[in-house]
Amino acid sequence: MLASMTPLQLPAELVALAQGGCGVTVASSDDVGAPVVGFGVGIRIMPEGVVRVLLGQAANLAVLRSVQLRRAVAVTFTATRDHTSFQVKASHARICPACSDDIPEMDRQNALFQDGLVEIGYARVQAAGYCAYDPADLVALELTPERVFTQTPGPGAGAELPR
């Protein structure tokens, strides 16, 4: 992020969506500029506005490698029930260890995500399998949003939200 830019604070409704049991997709690029995509377990938005995305290491090696190389990162948050979505972008992120405070929040968000999947037709066992994660495998990506875009399908999708 440019030194002259102030940290971007997400509006309360986007914080609620992101931490409310939604799907979390992390994207970056590989050595030749091709996209790499990973999936988060959940997120925490810290008081100073830092977005902390928790994801499994084993399933997200390509994304983690891109982050280590300080490539740009985009994280998309999508509600299962109605596809309300938004995306944050940052010029880079950093990898941090998961901490004990992360686990209860990931469990809460995963329970909500499973309920959303069941609501749209998944069997409970399918939803549980889709949301399964190993706490010992978690790491956190921390990024400061530089730009935010609406991604909800329909008119206005892709529009940048004002700072």
Residue 26: CB atoms within 10 A of its CB come to: 24
| For the chain, domain boundaries | 12-150
* pLDDT in 10s for each residue of the chain, 163 residues: 334 456 688 999 999 999 999 999 999 999 899 999 999 999 999 988 999 999 999 999 999 999 999 999 999 999 998 999 999 999 999 999 999 999 999 999 999 999 999 999 999 999 999 999 999 999 999 999 999 999 988 888 899 998 7
pLDDT at residue 14, as a whole number:
95
Which architecture characterizes domain 12-150 according to CATH? Roll (2.30)
Residue 120: how many CA atoms within 13 Å on its side-chain side? 12
pLDDT at residue 75, as a whole number:
98
pLDDT at residue 6, as a whole number:
62
Ranges assigned E (strand) in the chain: 23-29, 35-40, 42-45, 51-56, 73-78, 85-90, 94-97, 138-143, 147-150
pLDDT at residue 3, as a whole number:
41
For residues 46 and 44, give the distance between their C-alpha atoms in angstroms, rounded to a whole number.
Answer: 6
